[in-house]
C-alpha cells in the first residue's frame, strides 16, 4: 500500500511538471483602435484574461476565440461605438505558439441628439456649478460615452456635497440609445434642495481667547456652507503656529433647520522652541546661530523670538515681540531690538537698534511701515565716528509665482524709502531710495533663465557723517561675483573702500538641469557702488553648480573679476530663489 501511494504521487508530480513545462503560449494582437479603446477591449476579452492560465488547452483556446467578437462589441459600446465589425484569426505556428489577431473597425460613433438637462434654480446660480456644466462634454452633437455620462453625474454629486446641498438627488436619470436612428437621448434632472449654511463654530481649546480666534475664520454664521472654506480654516489655523494639532469637522444639522455646526479641536504647541544651526558662506565664512522662540506668549496670540548669530566677520543679537493686528493672518506689529557687529578689511561697525514696524498686506503687496532708532560706532578707512539716527521708512514688496524655494517662473520686486532729519533727533539728514528686481523663467523643462538687478540712491549734504549701514557697498556671492564681499565702492587715499551714494547692479544667468537634483549654470554680473550713475561698472563672469538640497538650493560659483583681471573667486550661497 505505501508503495502504490508513492507511485501515485510520483506520477501526479510527473504529469503536473510535464503540463507546466508544456504551457501554451498565446499572443493576442489588437489593431484598428486607439490606446484607450484597446485597453478596454483587453479587459473584456476572455482570451486575453486567460491566455496565461497554466492549464489552458487548445480546445478551450478555440472556444474563447469564438467569444471574442461579441466581447469586443460590448467593450466598444460604452465609448459610443455600436456598429463595430471585427476581422479575426487564430493560428498556431510550427513552434507551437498561438497567434490570436483582431482587426477592429469601430464604425461610426453614436452622437447625442437630445441633451435634456435641468438643475434647481439655486444650484444653477452657483458659480461652481455653472463652471462644471460649461466644462462637461455631454452636449448635443457630441459623441455619447458612458464614462463621461457617469463622470458628470459623479461630479454633480461631489460638488453638491462640497457646496452644502446635502439633500440633492436625481429626479430623472436615464439614457435612451436609439440604434435605428443611431442617436442617444440623455435625460438628467438634478434637484439640489435647500443649501445648508454654517452654524455655530465650537472651539474646543483653552489656548487663546475665543474672540481672537474668531478673527481667523474665513466664514461667519449664516454663510453658505462650503467644504473649501473648512479646508481653508484648517490650513489657516495650522499656519498660525500656535497649535500642535488642528481638527476641523462639520457636525449634524440642527433639527428643523439647515444650519451645520462646525467643531474645531485644537491642542497647543510647546511653549518654547529652540533652533540651532551652522553653515558656511563665502561672504561670512563659518557661521552658527542659536534661536529661542515662544510661539504663544499670552492668550491674545502675542509671540516672541530671539536669535544669536556668530560668524567670521562678526556677530548679531536680535529680539522681536510680535502682536497680531488688523487681519491676524497677515498683519503684525513688531517691536524689535538688535545689535550687529561687523569687522571687515576696510570697515568696522557696531550697530545698535531699537524700533517698531507694522507689517501688513495690501492686496497682493506686502507693506512695512517702520520707525527705528539706531546708534552706530564705526571705523571706515581712516575715519571713525559715532552716529545716532531716527529713521522712518516704508517698504513694498511683491512676489509672483509659486514654490518660492525653487521657482520655474516667478518675479520678485522690492521698493523702499527711508531717511532721517537733524531736526528730529538725528546727527545727520539723509534720504534714500532702493529697489531690486529678480526674474526667473523656464525656457523648457531643463533650462531656466535668471535675471536680477538693483538700484539705490542717497541724498545728503554730509556724506562723511553717514554710518556704513546707510552707505552702499557691493561685491560678493549675491551681487557682483568675482569680487570679495562688499569690496566694491569708492576708495579713500589709503585705498580703503568707504561706501557710496549710489548703487547699480545687474546679472544674467542661464541654468541647465542635469536631473532633479543637479544643475549647471553660467552667468555674467555687472555693477558697482558709485557716487554718480555715470561711473564705471565692474564686471564678473563664471560658471557654477546647483544642488537642490532638502533645505533649499545650494549654489557654488567660480567667478572671475573681468574688469580687474584678478584671480578667480569661489562663491557659496544657500537660500530660496525668491
What per-residue confidence (pLDDT) applies to 10?
A: 53
Domain 2-105: CATH superfamily is membrane protein fhac (3.10.20.310)
- The closest alpha carbon to 54, from 30, 28, 26, 29, belongs to 26
Q: What is the DSSP string of 482-537?
A: TS-TT-BS-B-TTS-B--BSEEEEEEEEEEEESSSSEEEEEEEEEEEEESSTTSPP
> At the topology level of CATH, where does 111-191 sit?
Ubiquitin-like (UB roll) (3.10.20)
Cell matching residue 223: 454663510
- The closest alpha carbon to 159, from 228, 111, 210, belongs to 228
Cell matching residue 431: 534720504
Pair 560, 566: CB distance under 8 Å: yes
What is the helix (H) or strand (E) element at residue 325, kind and residue range? none
DSSP 347: E
Strands in 443-492 per DSSP E: 447-459
Pair 474, 488: CB distance under 8 Å: yes
**Total-model pTM:** 0.78
Crossing angle for the helix pair 227-239 and 146-162, to the nearest 10 degrees: 60
What per-residue confidence (pLDDT) applies to 16?
A: 45
Handedness of CA 529, 533, 539, 545 (dihedral sign): positive
Cell matching residue 32: 484598428
Strands in 32-182 per DSSP E: 85-92, 98-105, 111-119, 169-178
Phi, psi of 14 (to 5 degrees): -65, -50
Q: Residue 558 forms beta bridges with which residues? A: 543, 570
> At the topology level of CATH, where does 197-268 sit?
Ubiquitin-like (UB roll) (3.10.20)
What per-residue confidence (pLDDT) applies to 470?
A: 96
According to DSSP, the β-strands at 26-31 and 98-105 are: parallel
Pair 320, 354: CB distance under 8 Å: no
10-residue averages of pLDDT along the chain (578 residues): 54 46 78 93 93 85 92 94 94 88 95 94 92 92 94 95 94 93 95 93 92 93 94 94 94 88 94 89 87 94 96 95 94 97 90 97 95 95 91 96 81 97 94 97 90 96 93 93 91 89 96 93 96 92 91 88 81 83
**In which residue ranges of the chain is CATH 2.40.160.50 found?**
273-574
- As a dihedral over the C-alpha atoms of residue 213, residue 218, residue 220, residue 225, rounded to 10 degrees, the angle is -130
CA 181 to chain centroid = 51
How wide is the angle at C-alpha 383 spanned by C-alphas 379 and 388, nearest 5°?
65
**In which residue ranges of the chain is CATH 3.10.20.310 found?**
2-105, 111-191, 197-268
Phi, psi of 458 (to 5 degrees): -120, 135
Cell matching residue 187: 435625460
- The closest alpha carbon to 508, from 521, 492, 517, belongs to 521
Pair 388, 427: CB distance under 8 Å: yes
Domain 273-574, CATH among 3.40.50.10860, 3.40.1190.20, 2.40.160.50, 3.40.190.10: 2.40.160.50
Amino acid at each position: 500500500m505505501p508503495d502504490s501511494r508513492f507511485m501515485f504521487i510520483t506520477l501526479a508530480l510527473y504529469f503536473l511538471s510535464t503540463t507546466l513545462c508544456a504551457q501554451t503560449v498565446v499572443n493576442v494582437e489588437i489593431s484598428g483602435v486607439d490606446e484607450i479603446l484597446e485597453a478596454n477591449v483587453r479587459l473584456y476579452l476572455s482570451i486575453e484574461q486567460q491566455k496565461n492560465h497554466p492549464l489552458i488547452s487548445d480546445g478551450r483556446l478555440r472556444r474563447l476565440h469564438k467569444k471574442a467578437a461579441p466581447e469586443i462589441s460590448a467593450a466598444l459600446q460604452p465609448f459610443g461605438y455600436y456598429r463595430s465589425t471585427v476581422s479575426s484569426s487564430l493560428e498556431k505556428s510550427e513552434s507551437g505558439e498561438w497567434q490570436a489577431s483582431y482587426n477592429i473597425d469601430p464604425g461610426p460613433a453614436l452622437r447625442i441628439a437630445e441633451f435634456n438637462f435641468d438643475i434647481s434654480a439655486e444650484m444653477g446660480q452657483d458659480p461652481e456649478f455653472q463652471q462644471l456644466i460649461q466644462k462637461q462634454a455631454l452636449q448635443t452633437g457630441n459623441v455619447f460615452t458612458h464614462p463621461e455620462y457617469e463622470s458628470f453625474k459623479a461630479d454633480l454629486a461631489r460638488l453638491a456635497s462640497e457646496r452644502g446641498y446635502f439633500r440633492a438627488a436625481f429626479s430623472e436619470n436615464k439614457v435612451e440609445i436609439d440604434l435605428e436612428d443611431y442617436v442617444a437621448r440623455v435625460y438628467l434632472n438634478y434637484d439640489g434642495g435647500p443649501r445648508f449654511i454654517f452654524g455655530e463654530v465650537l472651539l474646543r481649546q483653552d489656548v487663546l481667547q475665543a474672540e481672537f480666534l474668531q478673527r481667523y475664520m474665513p466664514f461667519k454664521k449664516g454663510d453658505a456652507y462650503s467644504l473649501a472654506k473648512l479646508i481653508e480654516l484648517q490650513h489657516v489655523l495650522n499656519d498660525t503656529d500656535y497649535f500642535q494639532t488642528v481638527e476641523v469637522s462639520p457636525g449634524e444639522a440642527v433639527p428643523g433647520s439647515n444650519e451645520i455646526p462646525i467643531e474645531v479641536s485644537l491642542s497647543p504647541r510647546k511653549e518654547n522652541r529652540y533652533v540651532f544651526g551652522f553653515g558656511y558662506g563665502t561672504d561670512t565664512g563659518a557661521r552658527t546661530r542659536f534661536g529661542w522662540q515662544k510661539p504663544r506668549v499670552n492668550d491674545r496670540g502675542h509671540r516672541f523670538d530671539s536669535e544669536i548669530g556668530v560668524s567670521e566677520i562678526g556677530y548679531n543679537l536680535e529680539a522681536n515681540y510680535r502682536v497680531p493686528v488688523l487681519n491676524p493672518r497677515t498683519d503684525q506689529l513688531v517691536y524689535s531690538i538688535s545689535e550687529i557687529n561687523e569687522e571687515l578689511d576696510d570697515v568696522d561697525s557696531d550697530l545698535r537698534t531699537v524700533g517698531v514696524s507694522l507689517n501688513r498686506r495690501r492686496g497682493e503687496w506686502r507693506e512695512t511701515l517702520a520707525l527705528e532708532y539706531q546708534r552706530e560706532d564705526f571705523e571706515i578707512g581712516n575715519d571713525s565716528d559715532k552716529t545716532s539716527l531716527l529713521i522712518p521708512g516704508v517698504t513694498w514688496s511683491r512676489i509672483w509665482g509659486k514654490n518660492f524655494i525653487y521657482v520655474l517662473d516667478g518675479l520678485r520686486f522690492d521698493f523702499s524709502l527711508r531717511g532721517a532729519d537733524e531736526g528730529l533727533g538725528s546727527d545727520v539728514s539723509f534720504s534714500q531710495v532702493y529697489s531690486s528686481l529678480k526674474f526667473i523663467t523656464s525656457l523648457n523643462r531643463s533650462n531656466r533663465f535668471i535675471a536680477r538687478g538693483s538700484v539705490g540712491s542717497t541724498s545728503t549734504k554730509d556724506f562723511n557723517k553717514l554710518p556704513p549701514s546707510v552707505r552702499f557697498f557691493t561685491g560678493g556671492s549675491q551681487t557682483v561675483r568675482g569680487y570679495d564681499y562688499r569690496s566694491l565702492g569708492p576708495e579713500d587715499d589709503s585705498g580703503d573702500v568707504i561706501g557710496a551714494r549710489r548703487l547699480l547692479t545687474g546679472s544674467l544667468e542661464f541654468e541647465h538641469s542635469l536631473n532633479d537634483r543637479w544643475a549647471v549654470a553660467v552667468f555674467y554680473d555687472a555693477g558697482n557702488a558709485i557716487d554718480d550713475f555715470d561711473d564705471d561698472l565692474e564686471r564678473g563672469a563664471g560658471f557654477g553648480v546647483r544642488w537642490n538640497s532638502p533645505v533649499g538650493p545650494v549654489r557654488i560659483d567660480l567667478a572671475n573679476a573681468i574688469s580687474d583681471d584678478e584671480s578667480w573667486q569661489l562663491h557659496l550661497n544657500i537660500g530660496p530663489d525668491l
